[in-house]
Amino acid sequence: MKNKIINIFETMGLSWAVPMVKLATGENPKEQGNALFQLLGLPLIAIMLFLGLWSAMAAQVNTSLGTLPGPSQVWAQTVNLYAEHKEERAKEVAFHERQEVRNAKKLEKNPDATIKVRPYTGKPTFFDQILTSLFTVFTGFLLASVIAIPLGIACGLSDNLYTAVSPLIQIFKPISPLAWLPIVTMVVSAVYVTNDPMFEKAFVTSALTVTLCSLWPTLINTAMGVASIDKDLLNVGRVICLNWSAQVFKIALPASLPMIFTGLRISLGIGWMVLIAAEMLAQNPGLGKFVWDEFQNGSSNSLGRIMVAVLTIGLIGFVLDWLMLTLQKFVSHEKSAAR
């Protein structure tokens, strides 16, 4: 039981939780205390040092929007943003209540009256922007994976196909998202024309930009993973006469899963970075737009609010990477971290 818990924590990359479990079960307190200090204490000390340095140095920098905010001001803005979010939600609820009451009254007077239900049009809060960004990045990332994994497997299995598409991959891979953006924007506005759009154009544009940039690591890693499968494993499949699809699904795909997940992890990381840049430049809703709006706004709180956003971007990026790493460890055969 205990070992199982420890195992799970270790697979999840939460190695600092292991000494805690061991302490809780009364295992050599001194040794576990040392381990805890090493795994949890040292990083905490580093963070404290960083906050101290930040606080001291930020006070020295004077900008047109006042001094650069230190950790305490940033924390104040975090609280502030949360309060604004609550306030906005309360307004929304009030709006819907008012509308319902109004419609009810109208119906009371005249049952045949046509009532109007209008959606709430308040500005999205910081937390709404986070959700929008997450939704966009996952859409783009999923789209990229759906294209990249099958294509990568095909490339890995066929040398000819890989030789054929290799130059294209090499050329498209290093292109910056900002270079894609104008083209994607124009193509989306030209092609995505419907009266009743399921998604906003801005959303489609940023998701596609993410797709275009996060396609390549998955594609290359999948192809490499499939191409580097131990030939004997494939020969096992040939000896027992597996047909083509069984060969792919029972041998090639599971054998290259660890490599595929390495690719997916890199792709998601790139996708997240690309998305923020795309949102900033193209005014697509999301965290990037939040940063840009605050920058344009230029109030005395703006710098603090931007820093909240920057830290949030980092934190979410870290959580996404951790999620992918955990997934990767669960699918890898050796159960050792690929770090």
Partner 1 sequence: MTTVHNVEALFPKEGNVITDNCNEKSAIPLARKNYLDISYVSIEFPTSLGPFKALDRVNLKIAKGEFISLIGHSGCGKSTVLNIIAGLLQATEGGVVLEGKEVNDPGPDRAVVFQNHSLLPWLTVYQNVELAVKQVFRNKKSKSEMDEWIRHNLELVHMSHALHKRPSEISGGMKQRVGIARALAMQPKVLLMDEPFGALDALTRAHLQDSLMEIQRDLNNTVVMITHDVDEAVLLSDRIAMMTNGPEATVGEVLEIELERPRHRVALSDNSEYNHYRREVLAFLYERQRKPAEKTA
Q: What distance lies between CA 230 and its chain's CA centroid?
A: 33
Q: Report the residue number, 70 or 258, with the smaller CB distance to partner 1.
A: 258
In the complex with partner 1, which residue's Cβ is closer, 176 or 235?
235
The dihedral over CA atoms of 162, 179, 295, 135, expressed in degrees to the nearest 10, equals -40
User: Closer to partner 1 at the Cβ: 79 or 331?
Assistant: 331
What is the rounded CA–CA span in Å between residue 63 and residue 69?
A: 10
Tell me the closest approach of the beta carbon of residue 244 to partner 1, in angstroms: 14
Residues at the site binding partner 1, with contacts judged by CB under 8 A:
230, 232-233, 235-236, 238-242, 246, 250-251, 254-255, 257, 333-335
What is the smallest separation between the CB atom of 231 and partner 1, expressed in angstroms? 9
- The number of beta carbons lying within 10 Å of the beta carbon of residue 45 is 11
**Secondary structure percentages of the chain, helix, strand, coil, to 5:** 80, 0, 20
DSSP state of 89: H
Residue closer to partner 1 by CB (options 112, 232) is 232
Whole-number minimum distance, CB 334 to partner 1, in Å?
Answer: 6
Residue 38 CB, shortest distance to partner 1, in Å, is: 28
| Nearest to partner 1 of 20, 257 (CB atom) | 257
Q: Which is nearer to partner 1, 311 or 331 (CB)?
A: 331
Minimum CB distance to partner 1, residue 333 (Å): 4
Per-position b or e across 299-336, b if 16+ CB within 10 A of its CB: eebbbbbbbbbeebbeebbeebbeebbeebbeebeeee
Euclidean distance between CA atoms 273 and 290, whole angstroms: 15
CA distance 286 to 106: 38
Q: How far is the CB of 335 from partner 1 (least distance, A)?
A: 7
Per the rule left: phi > 0, alpha: psi between -120 and 50, beta: everything else, 281 is alpha
